[in-house]
Amino acid sequence: MNSPRWCATVALLALWLSTSSSAQVAPDLHTVQVPVAAQGAADLQRAEASALRELAVRLSGRSDAASHAAIKAAATAPERYVQQYRYERNPAASADSTAPPWLVQLRFSPAAAAALLRDAGLPLWGPGRPALQMWVVVDDGQTRRFVEADDAAITMPLQQQAQRRGVVIQFPPSRAGVTENAIAQLDAGAVVAAIRPAPGELLLLGHLHNIGGSWRTRWRLAGAGQSGDAQADAGTVDEAVQVALDRLIDGFAAQYAVAAVGAEEILQLRVIGIGSFDDYIALLRYVQELSAVKSATPVLVAGDEVTLQLKAEVDVEQLRRQFALDARLAPVADAGPAQLQYRWSGQR
C-alpha cells in the first residue's frame, strides 16, 4: 500500500477521476420514460414537459417540486433540457387496449437539470441513495399474507412510485423469521432483531388493508438512524402507495438533498483503512458522487491513510449525515466534533 509506485499511480490517476463520471447507486436519475399516443411533435413536447416535472421531483427529493413556478416555466420549453430521446413499443399496450402504444425515453442533461433546480432555489439530491428493503403484508380482514416480489398487483405500483422518486426498492428473498403480525403492527424492533440488517440498511414496513374495495395503508421507515411514519387511505392501492411513499421520501430526502445556498466549505476528510489501490478508487468515486461535494482532491497518501480536500456546499454535520447513509465510512471514535475522520469499510 505504501510503495512509491502505488503512490505515484494514485497521483496520476487523481486528475482522471476528478473529471470522470462516478458510478451511480440509484438507477439513471436523468432518464424518464413517458407513454405517448403517437410520435408527432405535439405528443413529444407534452411528454418532455411531463418528464421534466417528474425529473424535478426526482432530483430535488420534494414531491411538490413540479408545482414550483420555475419548473412550470421551464416545462413550457422543455426541449432545452433534453439531450436525446428514443421511442419503443409500450409492452402494456398488448394487454390493455387503452394503454398508449408507444413509450418515449427522454435523457436530460445533468448539468442543465442541476442548474434549473439551483436557479429555482430547490435542493439537489444526488445518486448516493440507499435501497429500501420492503416488508409488506396485505390484509383483507380475514387473512394476512406477505407481499412477494412476483405479486404484481402490489409490487408494480410500489416499483412505479420508487422509479418516479429515484429510489431502489427490494423485496427480501426470505422471511427470515419475520411474522405477518410483526409487519401488520409495524413492529420495527421485532423485524430488526429477526433479520439483523447491515449498517446503513433501511427498512420500510407496510400494512395494506383492503376494506370493501378501498385501501387503508400504514407505513414505517426504520434503520440507519432513520425513522418515519405515514398513512394514506384511497380507493386504489396505486393512489394509497403514491401518497404514503411521497410523504416518507420527502421527509427522508430533506436530510440529504443539498440546498442551493451558494456557500462553499473547504473541508478535509481523513480516511484510514485504505488497503489497496481498488479501495482508493472506490473511496474517491464514492465521495465524488455525493451531491454535497463539488470536488475531492487528494492531499495525502501515506500507508493506509488518505486525506482528501473537499469543496462542499454543506457544513461538517450535514456531510456526516450523508456519510451515515450507507455506512461505507465508519466514524473514528476519537475524532473531534469539527473533524471528518473515518475508517473505510467499502461495504454497502
pTM reported for the whole predicted model: 0.74
Question: 156: pLDDT confidence band, cut at 50, 70 and 90?
Answer: very high
pLDDT, tens digit (0-9, with 9 covering 90-100), for 45-67: 999 999 999 999 999 999 999 99
Query: Hey, is 308 helix, strand or coil?
Result: strand
315 Cβ neighbours under 8 A, 6+ residues apart = 265
Out of 41-50, 253-262, 313-322, the most confident range is: 41-50
- Find out whether 297 and 18 touch, Cβ atoms under 8 Å: yes
Q: What is the DSSP string of 28-79?
A: -TTEEEEEES-SSHHHHHHHHHHHHHHHHHHHHT-TTGGGSHHHHHHTTSGG
Rounded to 5 degrees, φ, ψ at 209 are: -110, 115
Name the residue type at position 17. L
Q: Name the more confident of 301 and 333.
A: 301
If you average pLDDT over every residue of the chain, what do you get? 85
Give me the mean pLDDT over the 219-242 stretch.
Answer: 91
Give me the mean pLDDT over the 279-305 stretch.
Answer: 85
pLDDT of residue 161: 94
Give the helix/strand (H/E) hosting 244.
helix 237-253
pLDDT of residue 101: 96
300 Cβ neighbours under 8 A, 6+ residues apart = 306, 307
- Is pLDDT of 25 > 90? no
pLDDT of residue 26: 65
Residues linked to residue 305 through DSSP beta bridges, in sequence order = 272, 302
pLDDT of residue 260: 55
- Find out whether 264 and 316 touch, Cβ atoms under 8 Å: no
Q: Which of 15-19, 191-195, 242-246, 287-291 has the lowest mean pLDDT?
A: 15-19
Q: How far apart are CA 330 and CA 95, in angstroms?
A: 49
pLDDT, tens digit (0-9, with 9 covering 90-100), for 82-99: 999 999 999 988 888 899
- CA 79 distance to own-chain centroid: 25
